[in-house]
Amino acid sequence: MHLPMTPAQFAATLDSTNLRLDATEGDIEALCREAVAANFACVMIYPTSVPLAARVLAGSNMRIGTVVGFPSGRFTTESKAAEIDAMAKAGAHEVDIVMDYAALRAGHGAAVGAELKELTKIAHGNGQLIKVITENCFLTEAQMLEALRLCEDAGADFIKTSTGFGTAGAKKEQIALWAGNRRGGIRLKAAGGIKTLADALALLEAGASRLGASSAGALLAEYKGGPAAKASGAY
């Protein structure tokens, strides 16, 4: 298999994720320590785990990411804003916010865009990077492109395919659609169902620059020539 980058470069594309409903404190600590050793892009965890991760990662350069409005996006703008601010105080450097994709599907794009602009302003004011999750398994191609425009207009750093809790995860065709229709520099994150190294490489080739994976350590080990990765969950 032709490898397009060094192992270190590949590791830097991975958001090492544990959003399992049964995750323990020990699981989060292990995730954090593995991420430091591998030099992943960030750890991606639930909000209540952020203070623990901040303690474990103190003194390292590892970034902490968390989810907001997860997994449905059907929360008030005020509650999402409060969570962004609370996570900044707790130590989160990155927030993956679920777009109210139900409202987008219902034709309320202007309202969705207004919310994204407000939340992006708050996150950037905190120095946080913002990724907007659109849950593409529930969107038509036209809606995926509308979501891209709304994220671009809001100034979001990334647009992201999936929560990992929908009916399907990332598809290379979705990433390619966004990559071919970007107007500027918004980056693309693929997440959900990245089970093999071949999946990961296909998504990167299509245009993703971040991958959310619950098996980041196994994917990196396979990239270095180890045994095939076995994903631990839907994410």
- Type of residue numbered 199: D
Q: How far apart are CA 188 and CA 203, in angstroms?
A: 10
Q: Would you say 43 and 16 are in contact if contact means Cβ atoms under 8 Å apart?
A: yes
Q: Pull the structure tokens for residue 128.
A: 């946080």
Catalytic residue numbers? 96, 160, 189
Matching residue, tokens 């997860």: 70
**Structure letter (DSSP) for residue 5:** S
State phi, psi for 211 to the nearest 5 degrees: -130, 130
Q: E strands within 52-205?
A: 63-68, 94-98, 129-133, 158-160, 187-191
